[in-house]
């Protein structure tokens, strides 16, 4: 299911990227003087949900975890995999076996050396049954023997092998080219066995790992303070401290920024009604996200089992009006499944579902409902969490009525109830209580089109709540998912995307936009045009007086 967490995931990705990018490439900085503390709010929470890497889920957790911990690999500014704890790796058996060469001088923040054993320990720990509520199972279940550990029938993952202190082998069940991307999510980050075992219930209160910072103090329900890791493999960061208060309401964070109490705000949530008030500020940044809001259809029963009906509904939507007038351009019109900036984005796909009132009418007539005559009663379901959804739903209702002559009811539900209903629809799309169609969102777990194409619309995958199914689409994504060569892979996803857009497996509505205030005295953080929040090297980030 796509749910509210997607935004969270998206931002977590951004944060993870930014933080991983931090470490990227540059050799250790010469010992520089210490700069002022960085005050950076964590919006949308009143307590950090988790700091233990296997429990990372919420974006705020992923953000902080990525400052403190690191894994084998990370992403660079071009969204490519770059070395982190592993300085190099070999891929064998057509993508089924990965051999990682651990950095020789790698140390935890307390100075203890890090070896392949530590990475193996961390992976085994992430899959232990008591961490089943974390996300290792979601990202890394392709590791041979991992699910046996999670389900308690084995103690250690058979596919994780320590060859020697500097060499770790990971065997997969199925060849995968995006496995390295999956390793950039915190679930596999390396933790210190010594630290964990010294204080199993509260070790994260003073957590340290191999990331650029370590925890100085976690004031529960209030804030977390990080200080530089003196043993960071890229050198010790210059920022003397990062103070991160938990601020539930983004409007509060904005006021704190405006009265000089914060240096960065908006990373996790921004009060969108305040954008016009700050948009001329040089500290204000706006960027697109790997995030798509879309309409999903119940393909398993009438009327949306008929491709012509879905096409008619898609072509009757005037997205330009919807986005620019109804949502006042707070988001960006979306016409593709793979969002701009992600490998595989195809601008040509944008024309497939273009607004065409006459064509829409004709398609509906062809489907047997001229002017909407005898069209069954249907409801568009939305959740009430997102302030955009009621506005969009009302506008869509109007467009479908005017263009197609179809009356659509709007069914607004609390998020938890909506998630229940969506899951029920996924489990039994023909049941009476199943949704007809719904507005949902998806944010990238990692910047690979597989996450947007195969994982959303292939027959039978968990997130394909509406049961879209096309044999040709399935064949294309199955081939793409195991194709090791990127230039050959991307066209396969693009062809699949063209099929899904033509048949309206998804009706994309908009891409998300993120808003951020970064005080100009903060140097070394860069917001890239793609919005992939800063291309940072943490050892070079400074805060002026």
Partner 1 sequence: MWRIISQRLLSLIFVLFSVTFLTFIVSSLAPGDPVLNMMGGRQDPVRYQFLRHMYGLDLPWYQQYFNYLGNLLSGNLGYSFKYPERPVWSLIANGVPVSMQLGLTALTVSVLLGVPAGVLSALWQNTWRDTATMTIMLALYSVPSFVIIPVLWVVDLALYRAGWPSLPVAGWGKPEQLILPVLVLAAANIGFIARLMRSSMLEVMRQDFVRTARAKGAPESIVIRRHVLRNALLPLLTVLGPATAFLVTGAFVVENLFAIPGVGYLAVQSIGQRDYPVIQATTILLALAVVVMNLVTDIGYTLADPRVRAD
Residue ranges in contact with partner 1 by CB under 8 A: 1-6, 8-9, 46-47, 49-52, 55, 57-58, 129, 132-135, 137-138, 150-151, 204, 219-222, 245-249, 251-253, 255-256, 258-261, 414-417, 419-420, 423, 426-427, 441-443, 445, 462-463, 465
End-to-end, the C-alpha distance of the chain in Å comes to 46
To the nearest whole angstrom, how small is the minimum distance from the Cβ of residue 141 to partner 1?
9
Whether omega for the bond prior to residue 303 falls within 30 degrees of 0, making it cis, is yes
Q: What is the DSSP string of 128-191?
A: SGGGTTSSHHHHHTTBTTHHHHHTTS-SS-TTEEEEETTEEEEEBSS--SSHHHHTTSGGG---
Cβ proximity to partner 1, 56 vs 541, nearer residue: 56
Cβ proximity to partner 1, 35 vs 419, nearer residue: 419
Cβ proximity to partner 1, 231 vs 465, nearer residue: 465
Cβ proximity to partner 1, 58 vs 453, nearer residue: 58
Cβ proximity to partner 1, 131 vs 233, nearer residue: 131
Spatial separation of the C-alpha atoms in residues 211 and 214, rounded to whole Å: 7
To the nearest whole angstrom, how small is the minimum distance from the Cβ of residue 282 to partner 1?
17
To the nearest whole angstrom, how small is the minimum distance from the Cβ of residue 308 to partner 1?
28
To the nearest whole angstrom, how small is the minimum distance from the Cβ of residue 169 to partner 1?
26
Spatial separation of the C-alpha atoms in residues 534 and 66, rounded to whole Å: 13
Cβ proximity to partner 1, 69 vs 98, nearer residue: 69
Contact 157, 146 (CB under 8 A): yes
φ, ψ at 90 (rounded to 5°)? -120, 145
Give CA torsion, residues 187, 190, 191, 193, to 10 deg. 120
CA-based nearest residue to 293, from 412, 382, 355, 185: 382
To the nearest whole angstrom, how small is the minimum distance from the Cβ of residue 105 to partner 1?
31
To the nearest whole angstrom, how small is the minimum distance from the Cβ of residue 438 to partner 1?
13
Cβ proximity to partner 1, 51 vs 239, nearer residue: 51
To the nearest whole angstrom, how small is the minimum distance from the Cβ of residue 381 to partner 1?
13
To the nearest whole angstrom, how small is the minimum distance from the Cβ of residue 15 to partner 1?
15
Which two three-digit tokens encode residue 164? 């020697």
Cβ proximity to partner 1, 255 vs 479, nearer residue: 255
To the nearest whole angstrom, how small is the minimum distance from the Cβ of residue 232 to partner 1?
24
Q: In whole angstroms, how far apart are CA 384 and each of 163, 361, 388, 391, 440?
A: 52, 31, 9, 11, 12
Spatial separation of the C-alpha atoms in residues 461 and 463, rounded to whole Å: 6
Spatial separation of the C-alpha atoms in residues 13 and 213, rounded to whole Å: 19
Spatial separation of the C-alpha atoms in residues 267 and 73, rounded to whole Å: 23
Contact 229, 236 (CB under 8 A): yes
Cβ proximity to partner 1, 9 vs 336, nearer residue: 9
Three-class SS state of 243? strand
């Amino acid at each position: 299911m796509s749910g509210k967490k997607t935004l969270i995931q998206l931002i977590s990705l951004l944060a993870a990227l930014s933080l991983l990018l931090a470490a990227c490439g540059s050799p250790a900085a010469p010992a520089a003087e210490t700069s002022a503390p960085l005050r950076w709010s964590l919006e949308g929470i009143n307590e950090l949900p988790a700091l233990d890497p296997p429990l990372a889920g919420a974006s705020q957790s992923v953000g902080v975890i990525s400052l403190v911990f690191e894994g084998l690999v990370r992403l660079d500014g071009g969204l490519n995999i770059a070395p982190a704890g592993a300085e190099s790796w070999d891929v064998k058996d057509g993508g089924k076996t990965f051999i990682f060469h651990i950095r020789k001088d790698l140390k935890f923040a307390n100075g203890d050396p890090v070896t392949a054993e530590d990475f193996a320990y961390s992976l085994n720990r992430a899959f232990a049954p008591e961490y089943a509520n974390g996300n290792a199972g979601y990202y890394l279940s392709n590791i041979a023997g991992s699910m046996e550990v999670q389900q308690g029938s084995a103690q250690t993952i058979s596919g994780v092998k320590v060859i020697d202190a500097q060499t770790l082998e990971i065997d997969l069940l199925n060849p995968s080219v995006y496995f390295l991307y999956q390793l950039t999510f915190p679930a596999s980050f390396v933790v210190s066995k010594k630290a964990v075992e010294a204080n199993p219930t509260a070790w994260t209160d003073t957590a340290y790992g191999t990331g650029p910072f370590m925890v100085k103090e976690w004031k529960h329900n209030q804030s977390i303070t990080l200080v530089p890791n003196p043993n960071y493999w890229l050198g010790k960061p210059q920022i003397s401290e990062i103070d991160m208060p938990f601020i539930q309401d983004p409007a509060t964070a904005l006021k704190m920024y405006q009265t000089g109490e914060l240096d960065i705000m908006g990373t996790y949530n921004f009060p969108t009604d305040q954008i016009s008030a700050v948009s001329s500020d040089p500290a204000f940044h706006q960027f697109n996200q790997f995030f798509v809001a879309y309409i999903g259809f119940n393909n398993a029963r009438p009327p949306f089992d008929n491709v012509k009906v879905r096409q008619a509904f898609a072509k009757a939507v005037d997205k330009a009006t919807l986005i620019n007038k109804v949502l006042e351009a707070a988001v960006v019109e979306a016409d593709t499944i793979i969002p701009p900036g992600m490998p595989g984005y195809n601008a040509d796909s944008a024309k497939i579902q273009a607004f065409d009132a006459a064509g829409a009418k004709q398609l509906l007539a062809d489907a047997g409902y001229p002017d909407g005559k005898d069209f069954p009663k249907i409801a568009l379901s939305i959740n009430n969490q997102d302030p955009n959804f009621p506005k969009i739903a009302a506008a869509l209702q109007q467009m479908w009525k005017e263009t197609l002559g179809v009356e659509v009811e709007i069914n607004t539900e609390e998020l938890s109830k909506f998630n229940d209903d969506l899951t029920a629809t996924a489990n039994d799309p023909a049941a009476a209580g199943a949704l007809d169609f719904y507005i949902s969102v998806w944010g990238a777990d990692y910047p690979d089109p597989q996450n947007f194409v195969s994982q959303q619309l292939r027959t039978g995958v968990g997130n394909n709540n509406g049961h879209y199914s096309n044999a040709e689409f399935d064949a294309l994504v199955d081939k793409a998912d195991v194709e090791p060569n990127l230039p050959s892979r991307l066209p396969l996803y693009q062809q699949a995307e063209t099929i899904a857009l033509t048949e309206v497996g998804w009706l994309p509505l908009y891409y998300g936009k993120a808003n951020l205030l970064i005080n100009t005295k903060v140097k070394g953080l860069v917001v890239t045009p793609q919005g992939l929040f800063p291309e940072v090297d943490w050892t070079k980030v400074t805060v002026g007086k």
